Amino acid sequence: MSNYHIKNFEEYFQIYRKSVREPENFWGEVAEEHFVWRKKWNSVLQYDFSKPEFKWFEGAKLNITENCIDRHLMTRADKTAILFEPNDPAEPAQHITYAELSKRVNKMANVLKSQGVKKGDRVCVYLPMIPELAVTLLACARIGAIHSVVFAGFSSTALATRIKDASCKMVVTSDGSYRGSKTIDLKGIVDEAVAQCDSIETVLVVKRTGEAIPMEEGRDQWLEPLLDEASTTCEPEIMDAEDPLFILYTSGSTGRPKGMLHTTAGYMVYTAYTFKNIFQYKEEDIYWCTADIGWITGHSYIVYGPLANGATTIMFEGVPSYPDFGRFWEVVEKHRVTQFYTAPTAIRALAKENLDYVNKYDLTSLKVLGSVGEPINEEAWHWYNDNIGKQKSPIVDTWWQTETGGIMISPIPYVTPTIPTYATLPMPGIQPALMDERGEEIKGNLVNGSLCIKFPWPSMARTIWGDHDRYRDTYFSAFNNCYFTGDGALRDAVGYYRITGRVDDVVIVSGHNLGTAPIEDAINEHPAVAESAIVGFPHDIKGNALYGFIILKEFGETRLRENLRKEINQQITEHIGPIAKLDRIQFVPGLPKTRSGKIMRRILRKIASNDTSNLGDISTLLNPEVVEQIIAEVILE
């Protein structure tokens, strides 16, 4: 029996038990057998929840790109590593082999070096889903620079906040990007952002759309000519196991985004391990994850996890609705995709369309279907299972987070029996616990509580960039000696987990994590707004949508409501991005508050969900009368 590849349910339990009883032996064996190291570790794990501090494979030396690229050159040089499918189906797909990827990454690494990027420097990456995005990440890793990818749908203000937080030295971007039938001026957004950031020395620009764009002398450079001159060899920087690999921002309960820091060895081992098992990846497979590399799913399961396994991974530049709603299925047929990994919001959107869009295509190549980012509702699960998997491909409902680095709770296809809406069982090495309100662990089955993880795992984020106190306070202070996820979950009679959703002020809209605080901050900057509170409410396609309760200043009261609604959404688009726009905006005379002045979001959530029959005890509120006023004017369409 190999620890690395779980083949049946009995093996899963055996391996799981071993991973809990002897975590160091377990991870030590996985690491030793399946990766290349320049030097072995002194200890597999050292940790202290009180600091909190976690060190995996301390003393080991490696470079993750040797594991993702170089070691495959002996056996898989001509195998496609990255299969690029462009936005426009008429543009040919690109098959980038491991040999070509190696050259492209080394060239890019040499360009970064020639522009003064050194080990430990932060490089901001603001690119569409084109091969240069993956190449830039790997090039950073090659020379030990820390990449910080910002999803290219974020606004210039959001980009600037992230560049400043990590004091990035460079931005890598493109002239523009394609999104369905639209072209977006990415470079213009970068120019606006960089104007507010002192740390940026260089902006490297990939040519994608060919629009004429201004280039600032001394700062902006086209990438192509630099690549042409660069050498195809670049010795990898030899990294310590715990050297930083990347920063990736996630939304939090307060205004500032959290720069989650992931380090090298543990992240590599865990993402590779979970990729292999959760997708049951085999050598000839064609794996497709539709996420954007701007999110953790893309980092771990488009780039690092698949490449560490020598897989063929598809990068898709387009959207599911362009040129029509059959695009995903057209791509599955065209490339004979074997594993398909997407988000429930995409499934729900496509399920609304005519089934002809699906049935036109041959989907018989599919073996595994995946879901990620939010709870998948039963209806969407069945649609996916019936129409895409034809009831033959198991659905892996994978629960995890930016902070966890890799998938934590998920079925293993053809191993774990699946049940709709259940993420089922923890991966080896993962020890979930459900906690009650007093902070005690709830043992036994048929229970629900706050989901925590009570033992370290290799790919956990090690800190929040520049703010270790916030890391401790957010994740390690609510419960003793464990990591708090911010999610609620239940455990059923057989021990399967079902994630019930966030228990904090983060709302998942279309699979994107949105902290309500930064949105409120953006709204409150509007001159007519006095105060605001944002909550989520159920939405057919997006899972959740945002509802804003907004108090206007006196002069705002004279303004046209519709104009104000537009301006407020415009304000949000500028500060964060269109993904954070509000679906409903209600202007209210006041917000329900506790005597200590805290907004009672629980009540607002119920009002927004049209579930006002049982609001609980509101008599302790400072202003209970406001609740009825709000209910009287609630917006339901």
- Give residues in contact with ligand WTA (CB under 6 A): 250, 295-297, 371-375, 397-402, 423, 485-487, 499, 502, 508, 513
User: Can you tell me the distance from the alpha carbon of 514 to that of 498, in angstroms, rounded to the nearest whole number?
Assistant: 21
Nearest distance from residue 101's CB to ligand WTA, in Å?
A: 25
End-to-end CA distance of the chain: 57
Closer to ligand WTA by CB, 145 or 260: give it.
Answer: 260
Nearest distance from residue 404's CB to ligand WTA, in Å?
A: 8
Give SS3 for 254. coil
Closest of 220, 218, 296, 298 to residue 262, by C-alpha: 296
User: Can you tell me the distance from the alpha carbon of 59 to that of 41, in angstroms, rounded to the nearest whole number?
Assistant: 5
User: Can you tell me the distance from the alpha carbon of 626 to that of 278, in angstroms, rounded to the nearest whole number?
Assistant: 50
Give SS3 for 197. coil
User: Can you tell me the distance from the alpha carbon of 246 to that of 264, in angstroms, rounded to the nearest whole number?
Assistant: 9
Closest of 572, 582, 541 to residue 154, by C-alpha: 572
CB 241 within 8 A of CB 58: yes
Closer to ligand WTA by CB, 411 or 592: give it.
Answer: 411
Nearest distance from residue 197's CB to ligand WTA, in Å?
A: 25
Closer to ligand WTA by CB, 100 or 374: give it.
Answer: 374
Nearest distance from residue 307's CB to ligand WTA, in Å?
A: 19
Closer to ligand WTA by CB, 399 or 457: give it.
Answer: 399
The residue of the chain with the least Cβ separation from ligand WTA equals 402
Nearest distance from residue 289's CB to ligand WTA, in Å?
A: 11
Closer to ligand WTA by CB, 65 or 342: give it.
Answer: 342
Nearest distance from residue 396's CB to ligand WTA, in Å?
A: 9
The amino acid present at 32, given as its one-letter code, is E
User: Can you tell me the distance from the alpha carbon of 103 to that of 343, in angstroms, rounded to the nearest whole number?
Assistant: 33
Burial of 36 (0-12, 13-18, 19+ CB in 10 A): exposed
CB 409 within 8 A of CB 497: yes
What is the tally of helices (H) and strands (E) in the chain? 21, 30
User: Can you tell me the distance from the alpha carbon of 279 to that of 611, in angstroms, rounded to the nearest whole number?
Assistant: 39
Q: What are phi and psi of 331, to 5 degrees?
A: -70, -40
Closer to ligand WTA by CB, 57 or 304: give it.
Answer: 304
Nearest distance from residue 400's CB to ligand WTA, in Å?
A: 5
Closer to ligand WTA by CB, 166 or 248: give it.
Answer: 248
Closer to ligand WTA by CB, 263 or 513: give it.
Answer: 513
Closer to ligand WTA by CB, 14 or 254: give it.
Answer: 254
Kindly give, in sequence order, each residue whose CB lies less than 8 Å from that of residue 259, ignoring residues fewer than 6 positions away.
Answer: 148, 162, 165, 166, 247, 248, 249, 464, 465, 466
Q: Using CA atoms of 352, 353, 359, 365 in order, give the dihedral in degrees to the nearest 10.
A: -60
Nearest distance from residue 517's CB to ligand WTA, in Å?
A: 16
Nearest distance from residue 248's CB to ligand WTA, in Å?
A: 9
Closer to ligand WTA by CB, 120 or 578: give it.
Answer: 578
Question: CA-CA distances (angstroms) from residue 85 to 130, 213, 305, 333, 393?
Answer: 9, 25, 19, 13, 23
